[in-house]
Amino acid sequence: MNDQTLHNWHDAIEAALDGHVLRRVRVLTETGSTQDAAFAAATEPGLVVVAGRQTCGRGRLGRAWQSDDSGVAMSCVISVPHDARQAWRLPIAAGLAAASACDEALGRRRCRVRWPNDVIEPDAQRKLAGALVEVRSNLACIGIGINVLEREWPQDLQGLAVSLEALGSTSSRLDVMCSLARHLPRCLQTPDHDLIKYWREREMLIGRRATFAQGTRRVSGIVREIDPTGAIVIALDDGQIEVLNAAVATLIEWD
């Protein structure tokens, strides 16, 4: 990225911000992790960090997130909710914002979400985007990665990941960043009832077989209900119903 590209990115993304939840932009040519860069630079909420290339991105559960010069890597610093019971809102809002940005890039084709915040292509099960929420002191950092221009994947991601371009989008990385910068504040400020409603309309795990981990236990069965504020309800193979704590359960695999 040259200086002019950096300048163009900065001005375009800054113009897309709401000026309240997100107020400032920092554009990096390259960084190890936009999450780490955002935490290092932020002294207060409202900072957005994007990078032309991210070399050591990370996702949930310590997984690596591939983000070369073909995808979007964006981290947004916001205030930690005053009520800890509202923490569920952050990953749900992040997933919905990423899904909305992908919808926009695909001409309003509706993408789905997979609990808690993966974004899945409209007509199959390949992953388009993901989010990671981390908290340090009184600041939360929402990291979102979106596959935009990628055409080739490592062996372990083939058949599992897809990009917007591969699905027919003509949007640039900057287009997607600006879209994401507009959608995230809106999702973060959406009332609880509506946020859950919009998320459930996109959720793809309900009715499918999945395996979750909770502590040292693994639980497999058909997902009957997911309430992001509280419980995951699973019908076990023996007919029993298992209720998991959505705040601490981890999705391991699914059909």
Tens digits of residue pLDDT in 16-32: 999 999 999 999 999 99
The domain boundary residue, chosen from 202, 218, 235: 202
Same domain assignment for residues 122 and 227: no
User: Structurally, how many domains does the chain consist of?
Assistant: 2
The residue ranking higher by pLDDT, 102 or 160, is 102
Arithmetic mean of pLDDT, 129-157: 92
The residue ranking higher by pLDDT, 65 or 207, is 207
Arithmetic mean of pLDDT, 213-229: 93
Beta bridge partners of 231: 245
> Residue 238 has what DSSP assignment?
T
Range of the domain at 45: 3-202
Best CA proximity match to 134, nearest among 229, 33, 235: 33
Contact 54, 77 (CB under 8 A): no
Same domain assignment for residues 130 and 171: yes
**What pLDDT shows up at residue 95?**
96
Angle at 85 (CA atoms; ends 80, 90), nearest 5 degrees:
50
Same domain assignment for residues 77 and 137: yes
**What pLDDT shows up at residue 62?**
56
Same domain assignment for residues 180 and 62: yes
Same domain assignment for residues 235 and 186: no
Summary mean pLDDT of the chain: 92
Asked if residue 65 has pLDDT above 70, the reply is no
User: What sign for the dihedral angle of Cα 62, 63, 64, 67?
Assistant: negative
Angle at 169 (CA atoms; ends 77, 56), nearest 5 degrees:
40
Best CA proximity match to 72, nearest among 39, 88, 89, 94: 94
